[in-house]
Structure 1
Protein backbone atom coordinates (compact mmCIF):
# COMPACT_ATOMS: atom_id res chain seq x y z
CA UNK A 1 0.00 0.00 0.00
CA UNK A 2 1.33 3.46 -0.95
CA UNK A 3 0.03 6.56 0.81
CA UNK A 4 0.97 10.06 -0.25
CA UNK A 5 1.18 12.48 2.68
CA UNK A 6 0.87 16.05 1.40
CA UNK A 7 2.01 18.92 3.59
CA UNK A 8 0.44 21.87 1.73
CA UNK A 9 3.08 24.31 3.00
CA UNK A 10 6.63 24.46 1.68
CA UNK A 11 8.59 23.99 4.93
CA UNK A 12 10.35 20.69 4.30
CA UNK A 13 11.62 20.29 7.86
CA UNK A 14 7.96 20.10 8.92
CA UNK A 15 7.20 17.64 6.12
CA UNK A 16 10.05 15.39 7.29
CA UNK A 17 8.76 15.52 10.86
CA UNK A 18 5.27 14.50 9.70
CA UNK A 19 6.75 11.68 7.64
CA UNK A 20 8.57 10.29 10.67
CA UNK A 21 5.40 10.37 12.76
CA UNK A 22 3.38 8.71 9.98
CA UNK A 23 5.92 5.94 9.39
CA UNK A 24 6.07 5.20 13.12
CA UNK A 25 2.42 4.08 13.13
CA UNK A 26 2.08 2.67 9.61
CA UNK A 27 1.56 -1.05 9.18
CA UNK A 28 4.33 -3.23 7.75
CA UNK A 29 4.02 -3.01 3.99
CA UNK A 30 2.69 0.56 3.98
CA UNK A 31 4.92 3.04 2.15
CA UNK A 32 4.53 6.67 3.23
CA UNK A 33 5.69 9.20 0.62
CA UNK A 34 5.72 12.69 2.15
CA UNK A 35 5.80 15.75 -0.09
CA UNK A 36 5.39 19.52 -0.13
CA UNK A 37 4.35 21.52 -3.20
CA UNK A 38 7.01 23.22 -5.25
CA UNK A 39 5.50 26.61 -4.49
CA UNK A 40 3.24 28.22 -1.94
CA UNK A 41 3.28 29.60 1.61
CA UNK A 42 5.92 28.58 4.13
CA UNK A 43 3.16 28.12 6.69
CA UNK A 44 -0.64 28.13 6.57
CA UNK A 45 -2.17 30.51 9.07
CA UNK A 46 -5.38 31.82 7.56
CA UNK A 47 -7.89 31.64 4.73
CA UNK A 48 -5.63 33.32 2.16
CA UNK A 49 -2.75 30.94 2.87
CA UNK A 50 -5.15 28.01 2.51
CA UNK A 51 -6.49 29.26 -0.82
CA UNK A 52 -3.02 29.74 -2.30
CA UNK A 53 -1.74 26.42 -0.93
CA UNK A 54 -4.64 24.51 -2.44
CA UNK A 55 -3.22 24.83 -5.98
CA UNK A 56 0.00 23.04 -5.04
CA UNK A 57 -1.97 20.47 -3.07
CA UNK A 58 -4.13 19.61 -6.09
CA UNK A 59 -1.03 19.35 -8.27
CA UNK A 60 0.26 16.70 -5.86
CA UNK A 61 -3.04 14.81 -6.01
CA UNK A 62 -2.98 14.87 -9.83
CA UNK A 63 0.58 13.56 -9.95
CA UNK A 64 -0.26 11.00 -7.27
CA UNK A 65 -3.03 9.57 -9.42
CA UNK A 66 -0.60 9.18 -12.31
CA UNK A 67 1.83 7.42 -9.96
CA UNK A 68 -0.79 5.00 -8.67
CA UNK A 69 -1.04 5.93 -4.99
CA UNK A 70 -3.67 4.06 -2.98
CA UNK A 71 -4.66 6.96 -0.71
CA UNK A 72 -3.80 10.48 0.43
CA UNK A 73 -3.45 12.53 3.60
CA UNK A 74 -3.88 16.31 3.64
CA UNK A 75 -1.49 17.25 6.43
CA UNK A 76 -2.77 20.68 7.44
CA UNK A 77 -5.34 21.12 10.21
CA UNK A 78 -7.52 23.36 8.04
CA UNK A 79 -7.99 20.39 5.67
CA UNK A 80 -7.59 22.77 2.67
CA UNK A 81 -8.88 21.54 -0.67
CA UNK A 82 -10.25 18.32 0.81
CA UNK A 83 -13.38 18.02 -1.31
CA UNK A 84 -11.59 19.15 -4.49
CA UNK A 85 -8.92 16.51 -3.84
CA UNK A 86 -11.62 13.88 -3.51
CA UNK A 87 -12.97 14.85 -6.93
CA UNK A 88 -9.55 14.08 -8.40
CA UNK A 89 -8.61 10.96 -6.43
CA UNK A 90 -9.88 7.42 -6.83
CA UNK A 91 -8.54 6.26 -3.48
CA UNK A 92 -9.49 7.75 -0.11
CA UNK A 93 -8.39 11.26 0.85
CA UNK A 94 -8.40 12.09 4.57
CA UNK A 95 -7.76 15.44 6.22
CA UNK A 96 -5.93 15.49 9.53
CA UNK A 97 -8.52 17.62 11.35
CA UNK A 98 -11.26 15.28 10.15
CA UNK A 99 -9.27 12.23 11.31
CA UNK A 100 -8.25 13.63 14.68
CA UNK A 101 -11.72 14.85 15.64
CA UNK A 102 -13.37 11.57 14.75
CA UNK A 103 -10.75 9.56 16.63
CA UNK A 104 -11.10 11.78 19.71
CA UNK A 105 -14.90 11.39 19.68
CA UNK A 106 -14.43 7.61 20.03
CA UNK A 107 -12.39 7.81 23.23
CA UNK A 108 -13.87 10.76 25.15
CA UNK A 109 -17.29 12.39 25.58
CA UNK A 110 -15.71 15.73 24.73
CA UNK A 111 -12.41 17.11 23.47
CA UNK A 112 -10.66 20.46 23.18
CA UNK A 113 -8.62 21.52 20.15
CA UNK A 114 -5.34 23.24 21.02
CA UNK A 115 -4.05 25.12 18.02
CA UNK A 116 -1.55 27.82 17.06
CA UNK A 117 -2.66 31.38 16.25
CA UNK A 118 -5.99 32.77 17.44
CA UNK A 119 -6.86 33.80 13.90
CA UNK A 120 -7.20 30.13 12.95
CA UNK A 121 -9.73 29.25 15.67
CA UNK A 122 -12.70 29.97 13.41
CA UNK A 123 -11.40 27.55 10.79
CA UNK A 124 -11.25 24.71 13.33
CA UNK A 125 -14.68 25.58 14.71
CA UNK A 126 -16.17 25.55 11.22
CA UNK A 127 -14.64 22.14 10.52
CA UNK A 128 -16.06 20.74 13.76
CA UNK A 129 -19.53 21.79 12.60
CA UNK A 130 -19.00 20.47 9.09
CA UNK A 131 -17.83 17.08 10.35
CA UNK A 132 -20.66 16.72 12.86
CA UNK A 133 -18.16 17.06 15.70
CA UNK A 134 -19.50 20.28 17.27
CA UNK A 135 -21.27 18.40 20.05
CA UNK A 136 -17.98 16.72 21.01
CA UNK A 137 -15.74 19.78 20.61
CA UNK A 138 -15.88 21.62 23.92
CA UNK A 139 -13.62 24.47 22.84
CA UNK A 140 -10.95 25.53 20.36
CA UNK A 141 -8.02 27.09 22.19
CA UNK A 142 -5.19 29.14 20.69
CA UNK A 143 -1.65 29.28 22.06
CA UNK A 144 -0.73 32.21 19.77
CA UNK A 145 2.33 30.27 18.66
CA UNK A 146 3.23 30.86 15.03
CA UNK A 147 3.48 27.65 13.03
CA UNK A 148 7.16 28.14 12.22
CA UNK A 149 7.96 28.54 15.93
CA UNK A 150 7.26 24.82 16.18
CA UNK A 151 10.35 24.28 14.01
CA UNK A 152 12.59 26.30 16.33
CA UNK A 153 14.22 24.11 19.02
CA UNK A 154 15.03 27.25 21.01
CA UNK A 155 11.38 28.27 21.36
CA UNK A 156 9.30 27.32 24.40
CA UNK A 157 6.42 26.22 22.19
CA UNK A 158 6.14 22.77 23.76
CA UNK A 159 5.79 24.17 27.26
CA UNK A 160 3.13 26.65 26.19
CA UNK A 161 1.14 23.94 24.41
CA UNK A 162 1.26 21.70 27.51
CA UNK A 163 0.03 24.57 29.69
CA UNK A 164 -2.90 25.19 27.33
CA UNK A 165 -3.76 21.49 27.26
CA UNK A 166 -3.84 21.38 31.07
CA UNK A 167 -6.14 24.41 31.09
CA UNK A 168 -8.42 22.67 28.57
CA UNK A 169 -8.78 19.60 30.75
CA UNK A 170 -9.47 21.73 33.81
CA UNK A 171 -11.68 24.47 32.40
CA UNK A 172 -13.45 22.76 29.47
CA UNK A 173 -13.89 19.44 31.29
CA UNK A 174 -12.58 17.70 28.19
CA UNK A 175 -11.48 14.09 28.26
CA UNK A 176 -9.03 14.33 25.37
CA UNK A 177 -6.96 16.87 23.47
CA UNK A 178 -6.79 17.28 19.69
CA UNK A 179 -3.62 18.99 18.51
CA UNK A 180 -4.63 21.62 15.98
CA UNK A 181 -1.54 21.78 13.78
CA UNK A 182 0.35 19.21 11.72
CA UNK A 183 3.56 20.82 12.96
CA UNK A 184 2.80 19.30 16.39
CA UNK A 185 3.06 15.77 14.97
CA UNK A 186 6.08 14.90 17.11
CA UNK A 187 4.66 16.23 20.39
CA UNK A 188 1.61 14.04 21.08
CA UNK A 189 3.24 11.38 23.24
CA UNK A 190 5.20 13.93 25.30
CA UNK A 191 2.10 16.05 25.90
CA UNK A 192 -0.03 13.03 26.81
CA UNK A 193 2.51 11.96 29.44
CA UNK A 194 2.68 15.49 30.84
CA UNK A 195 -1.09 16.00 31.18
CA UNK A 196 -2.21 12.45 31.93
CA UNK A 197 -4.89 12.36 29.23
CA UNK A 198 -5.22 11.10 25.64
CA UNK A 199 -3.78 13.40 22.97
CA UNK A 200 -4.86 12.84 19.37
CA UNK A 201 -2.59 14.05 16.59
CA UNK A 202 -4.05 14.21 13.10
CA UNK A 203 -1.21 12.92 10.93
CA UNK A 204 -1.00 9.58 12.70
CA UNK A 205 -4.79 9.34 13.01
CA UNK A 206 -5.13 9.90 9.27
CA UNK A 207 -2.57 7.19 8.45
CA UNK A 208 -4.58 4.56 10.29
CA UNK A 209 -7.84 5.68 8.69
CA UNK A 210 -6.46 5.65 5.15
CA UNK A 211 -4.93 2.23 5.76
CA UNK A 212 -8.29 0.91 6.99
CA UNK A 213 -10.18 2.29 3.99
CA UNK A 214 -7.66 0.86 1.52
CA UNK A 215 -7.71 -2.55 3.25
CA UNK A 216 -11.51 -2.54 3.00
CA UNK A 217 -11.22 -1.62 -0.70
CA UNK A 218 -13.30 1.50 -0.08
CA UNK A 219 -12.57 4.13 -2.69
CA UNK A 220 -13.86 7.67 -3.02
CA UNK A 221 -17.41 7.73 -4.36
CA UNK A 222 -17.63 9.08 -7.88
CA UNK A 223 -21.35 9.82 -7.73
CA UNK A 224 -22.81 13.28 -7.34
CA UNK A 225 -20.57 16.08 -6.17
CA UNK A 226 -17.45 13.92 -5.92
CA UNK A 227 -17.62 12.88 -9.57
CA UNK A 228 -14.49 13.89 -11.53
CA UNK A 229 -14.35 17.58 -12.51
CA UNK A 230 -16.29 18.41 -15.67
CA UNK A 231 -14.09 18.61 -18.77
CA UNK A 232 -13.54 22.21 -19.77
CA UNK A 233 -10.73 24.53 -20.76
CA UNK A 234 -8.97 26.74 -18.22
CA UNK A 235 -7.14 29.85 -19.38
CA UNK A 236 -4.02 31.77 -18.49
CA UNK A 237 -1.46 30.45 -16.07
CA UNK A 238 -3.84 27.80 -14.76
CA UNK A 239 -4.53 26.23 -18.15
CA UNK A 240 -2.42 23.20 -17.21
CA UNK A 241 -4.98 22.33 -14.52
CA UNK A 242 -7.78 21.84 -17.06
CA UNK A 243 -9.65 18.60 -16.28
Structure 2
Protein backbone atom coordinates (compact mmCIF):
# COMPACT_ATOMS: atom_id res chain seq x y z
CA UNK A 1 0.00 0.00 0.00
CA UNK A 2 0.96 3.65 -0.37
CA UNK A 3 0.57 5.77 2.76
CA UNK A 4 0.84 9.56 2.84
CA UNK A 5 1.56 11.26 6.17
CA UNK A 6 0.95 15.00 6.16
CA UNK A 7 2.53 17.17 8.82
CA UNK A 8 0.17 20.19 8.99
CA UNK A 9 2.94 22.60 10.00
CA UNK A 10 5.66 23.89 7.70
CA UNK A 11 8.71 22.56 9.59
CA UNK A 12 10.44 20.10 7.26
CA UNK A 13 12.61 18.54 9.98
CA UNK A 14 9.45 17.44 11.77
CA UNK A 15 8.07 16.03 8.53
CA UNK A 16 11.23 13.98 8.04
CA UNK A 17 11.09 12.69 11.61
CA UNK A 18 7.43 11.73 11.20
CA UNK A 19 8.26 9.80 8.02
CA UNK A 20 11.12 8.02 9.76
CA UNK A 21 8.82 7.00 12.60
CA UNK A 22 6.28 5.58 10.17
CA UNK A 23 8.89 3.75 8.12
CA UNK A 24 10.29 2.13 11.28
CA UNK A 25 7.00 0.33 11.96
CA UNK A 26 5.54 -0.07 8.46
CA UNK A 27 5.46 -3.36 6.57
CA UNK A 28 8.21 -3.80 3.95
CA UNK A 29 5.54 -3.60 1.26
CA UNK A 30 4.19 -0.25 2.46
CA UNK A 31 5.43 2.84 0.62
CA UNK A 32 5.59 5.72 3.11
CA UNK A 33 5.41 9.27 1.79
CA UNK A 34 5.43 12.49 3.77
CA UNK A 35 4.59 16.10 3.02
CA UNK A 36 3.88 19.42 4.66
CA UNK A 37 2.27 22.63 3.42
CA UNK A 38 4.43 25.46 2.17
CA UNK A 39 2.28 27.97 4.06
CA UNK A 40 0.87 28.07 7.56
CA UNK A 41 2.23 27.88 11.11
CA UNK A 42 5.73 26.53 11.78
CA UNK A 43 4.32 24.62 14.76
CA UNK A 44 0.83 23.95 16.07
CA UNK A 45 0.50 24.85 19.73
CA UNK A 46 -3.02 26.23 20.19
CA UNK A 47 -6.49 26.42 18.63
CA UNK A 48 -5.57 29.37 16.42
CA UNK A 49 -2.66 27.43 14.90
CA UNK A 50 -4.98 24.50 14.21
CA UNK A 51 -7.54 26.68 12.44
CA UNK A 52 -4.80 28.36 10.41
CA UNK A 53 -3.28 25.10 9.22
CA UNK A 54 -6.45 23.40 7.98
CA UNK A 55 -6.85 25.05 4.54
CA UNK A 56 -3.20 24.40 3.66
CA UNK A 57 -3.44 20.83 4.96
CA UNK A 58 -6.51 20.11 2.85
CA UNK A 59 -4.76 21.50 -0.23
CA UNK A 60 -1.90 19.02 0.25
CA UNK A 61 -4.31 16.13 0.73
CA UNK A 62 -6.45 17.03 -2.29
CA UNK A 63 -3.41 17.45 -4.53
CA UNK A 64 -2.22 13.96 -3.61
CA UNK A 65 -5.68 12.48 -4.10
CA UNK A 66 -5.89 13.93 -7.61
CA UNK A 67 -2.75 12.19 -8.89
CA UNK A 68 -3.25 10.02 -11.92
CA UNK A 69 -0.47 7.70 -10.75
CA UNK A 70 0.73 6.64 -7.31
CA UNK A 71 -2.36 7.97 -5.56
CA UNK A 72 -2.19 7.17 -1.81
CA UNK A 73 -4.30 4.31 -0.48
CA UNK A 74 -4.57 5.99 2.93
CA UNK A 75 -3.66 9.28 4.59
CA UNK A 76 -2.48 10.26 8.08
CA UNK A 77 -2.85 13.74 9.55
CA UNK A 78 0.23 13.90 11.75
CA UNK A 79 -0.78 16.46 14.36
CA UNK A 80 -2.21 15.46 17.72
CA UNK A 81 -5.15 17.86 17.53
CA UNK A 82 -6.39 15.95 14.45
CA UNK A 83 -7.01 19.25 12.60
CA UNK A 84 -9.18 19.01 9.52
CA UNK A 85 -9.89 15.31 10.05
CA UNK A 86 -13.62 15.42 9.41
CA UNK A 87 -13.20 17.74 6.42
CA UNK A 88 -10.53 15.49 4.93
CA UNK A 89 -12.70 12.41 5.31
CA UNK A 90 -15.52 14.14 3.45
CA UNK A 91 -13.19 15.08 0.57
CA UNK A 92 -11.12 11.96 0.01
CA UNK A 93 -12.13 8.56 -1.26
CA UNK A 94 -9.73 6.68 1.00
CA UNK A 95 -9.17 6.21 4.75
CA UNK A 96 -7.91 9.28 6.63
CA UNK A 97 -6.49 8.73 10.11
CA UNK A 98 -5.68 11.24 12.82
CA UNK A 99 -2.82 10.42 15.15
CA UNK A 100 -4.78 11.32 18.29
CA UNK A 101 -7.65 9.03 17.38
CA UNK A 102 -5.29 6.20 16.46
CA UNK A 103 -3.17 6.59 19.60
CA UNK A 104 -6.10 6.83 21.98
CA UNK A 105 -7.83 3.75 20.60
CA UNK A 106 -4.55 1.82 20.63
CA UNK A 107 -3.83 2.78 24.25
CA UNK A 108 -7.37 1.90 25.35
CA UNK A 109 -7.06 -1.51 23.68
CA UNK A 110 -3.58 -2.15 25.07
CA UNK A 111 -4.10 -1.06 28.65
CA UNK A 112 -7.71 -0.02 29.23
CA UNK A 113 -6.77 3.44 30.48
CA UNK A 114 -4.23 6.09 29.57
CA UNK A 115 -2.91 9.53 30.41
CA UNK A 116 -1.92 12.03 27.72
CA UNK A 117 1.33 13.98 27.91
CA UNK A 118 1.31 16.85 25.44
CA UNK A 119 3.39 19.90 24.63
CA UNK A 120 1.80 23.24 25.57
CA UNK A 121 -0.90 23.97 28.14
CA UNK A 122 -3.02 25.58 25.42
CA UNK A 123 -3.51 22.14 23.86
CA UNK A 124 -4.84 20.48 27.02
CA UNK A 125 -8.54 21.34 26.41
CA UNK A 126 -8.32 19.94 22.88
CA UNK A 127 -6.74 16.76 24.25
CA UNK A 128 -9.63 16.30 26.67
CA UNK A 129 -12.18 17.06 23.96
CA UNK A 130 -10.76 14.42 21.64
CA UNK A 131 -10.41 11.83 24.42
CA UNK A 132 -14.04 12.24 25.48
CA UNK A 133 -15.13 11.90 21.85
CA UNK A 134 -12.93 8.96 20.86
CA UNK A 135 -12.53 6.87 24.01
CA UNK A 136 -15.00 7.96 26.72
CA UNK A 137 -13.81 6.91 30.17
CA UNK A 138 -10.40 5.64 29.08
CA UNK A 139 -8.46 8.90 29.44
CA UNK A 140 -7.70 9.70 33.07
CA UNK A 141 -5.61 12.84 32.65
CA UNK A 142 -4.05 15.28 30.19
CA UNK A 143 -0.76 16.95 31.12
CA UNK A 144 1.40 19.57 29.38
CA UNK A 145 5.18 19.73 29.65
CA UNK A 146 5.10 23.34 28.33
CA UNK A 147 8.06 22.73 26.06
CA UNK A 148 7.53 24.28 22.60
CA UNK A 149 7.03 21.81 19.78
CA UNK A 150 10.05 22.98 17.80
CA UNK A 151 12.31 22.52 20.82
CA UNK A 152 11.00 18.97 21.34
CA UNK A 153 11.71 18.32 17.67
CA UNK A 154 15.29 19.65 17.82
CA UNK A 155 16.48 18.82 21.35
CA UNK A 156 16.79 15.13 22.36
CA UNK A 157 17.37 16.19 25.97
CA UNK A 158 13.70 17.14 26.28
CA UNK A 159 13.00 13.46 26.87
CA UNK A 160 14.04 13.96 30.51
CA UNK A 161 11.32 16.42 31.60
CA UNK A 162 8.82 14.56 29.43
CA UNK A 163 9.73 11.29 31.18
CA UNK A 164 9.30 12.93 34.59
CA UNK A 165 5.87 14.23 33.59
CA UNK A 166 4.85 10.80 32.26
CA UNK A 167 5.85 9.21 35.56
CA UNK A 168 3.89 11.86 37.47
CA UNK A 169 0.82 11.20 35.30
CA UNK A 170 1.00 7.46 35.90
CA UNK A 171 1.32 7.94 39.67
CA UNK A 172 -1.44 10.53 39.84
CA UNK A 173 -3.96 8.83 37.58
CA UNK A 174 -3.19 5.18 38.09
CA UNK A 175 -3.49 4.77 34.34
CA UNK A 176 -2.18 1.79 32.41
CA UNK A 177 -0.43 3.60 29.57
CA UNK A 178 0.77 6.93 28.20
CA UNK A 179 -0.31 8.59 24.97
CA UNK A 180 2.23 11.06 23.61
CA UNK A 181 0.26 14.13 22.59
CA UNK A 182 2.67 15.60 20.07
CA UNK A 183 4.07 14.19 16.83
CA UNK A 184 7.50 15.61 17.74
CA UNK A 185 7.63 13.20 20.70
CA UNK A 186 7.35 10.13 18.46
CA UNK A 187 11.00 9.09 18.76
CA UNK A 188 10.69 9.02 22.55
CA UNK A 189 7.97 6.35 22.67
CA UNK A 190 10.21 3.27 22.81
CA UNK A 191 12.76 4.55 25.37
CA UNK A 192 9.97 5.94 27.55
CA UNK A 193 8.11 2.62 27.47
CA UNK A 194 11.27 0.80 28.60
CA UNK A 195 11.88 3.34 31.35
CA UNK A 196 8.32 3.49 32.65
CA UNK A 197 7.37 -0.15 32.19
CA UNK A 198 4.02 0.61 30.52
CA UNK A 199 2.92 1.03 26.90
CA UNK A 200 3.82 4.50 25.60
CA UNK A 201 1.84 5.07 22.43
CA UNK A 202 2.98 7.34 19.62
CA UNK A 203 0.18 8.29 17.26
CA UNK A 204 2.35 8.19 14.13
CA UNK A 205 3.18 4.52 14.69
CA UNK A 206 -0.37 3.70 15.74
CA UNK A 207 -1.89 5.39 12.69
CA UNK A 208 0.58 3.71 10.34
CA UNK A 209 -0.21 0.24 11.61
CA UNK A 210 -3.94 0.92 11.72
CA UNK A 211 -3.91 2.15 8.12
CA UNK A 212 -2.21 -1.08 7.08
CA UNK A 213 -4.75 -3.14 9.01
CA UNK A 214 -7.63 -1.32 7.33
CA UNK A 215 -6.31 -1.83 3.80
CA UNK A 216 -8.16 -5.11 3.14
CA UNK A 217 -11.41 -3.47 4.27
CA UNK A 218 -11.06 -0.31 2.17
CA UNK A 219 -13.08 0.09 -1.05
CA UNK A 220 -11.00 -0.38 -4.17
- Give me the TM-score of the superposition, normalised by structure 1: 0.87
The answer for the alignment partner of 2:138 in structure 1 is 136
Residues 136-189 of structure 1, C-alpha deviations (whole Å, 9 max, x = no match) = 000001111111111233x64110000011111111101100000001111100
User: Given the alignment of the two structures, is residue 79 of structure 1 paired with residue 85 of structure 2, yes or no?
Assistant: no
- C-alpha root-mean-square deviation of aligned residues, in Å? 1.2
Aligned equivalents of 1:203, 1:151: Cα separation in 2: 14
Residues 13-55 of structure 1, C-alpha deviations (whole Å, 9 max, x = no match) = 0110110010011112111110000111000011110111001
Q: Secondary structure at the match of 1:141?
A: strand
Matches for 1:9-88 after TM superposition, within 5 Å:
9-67=9-67, 68-88=71-91
Aligned partners of 1:7 and 1:75 also within 8 Å: yes
Query: Structure 1's 44 and 27: CA in aligned 2 closer, same or farther, altered over 3 A?
Result: same
Aligned equivalents of 1:194, 1:186: Cα separation in 2: 14
Uncovered stretches (5+) of structure 2, i.e. residues with no partner? none
Aligned equivalents of 1:151, 1:75: Cα separation in 2: 14
The answer for the alignment partner of 1:185 in structure 2 is 186
Aligned partners of 2:95 and 2:218 also within 8 Å: no
The answer for the alignment partner of 1:149 in structure 2 is 151
Residues 189-221 of structure 1, C-alpha deviations (whole Å, 9 max, x = no match) = 0111111111000000000111111222258xx
- Give me the TM-score of the superposition, normalised by structure 2: 0.96
Aligned equivalents of 1:75, 1:186: Cα separation in 2: 14
Residues 63-84 of structure 1, C-alpha deviations (whole Å, 9 max, x = no match) = 1111221110000000000000
Aligned partners of 1:99 and 1:206 also within 8 Å: yes
Q: Secondary structure at the match of 1:169?
A: helix
- Structure of larger gyration radius: 1
Uncovered stretches (5+) of structure 1, i.e. residues with no partner? 220-243
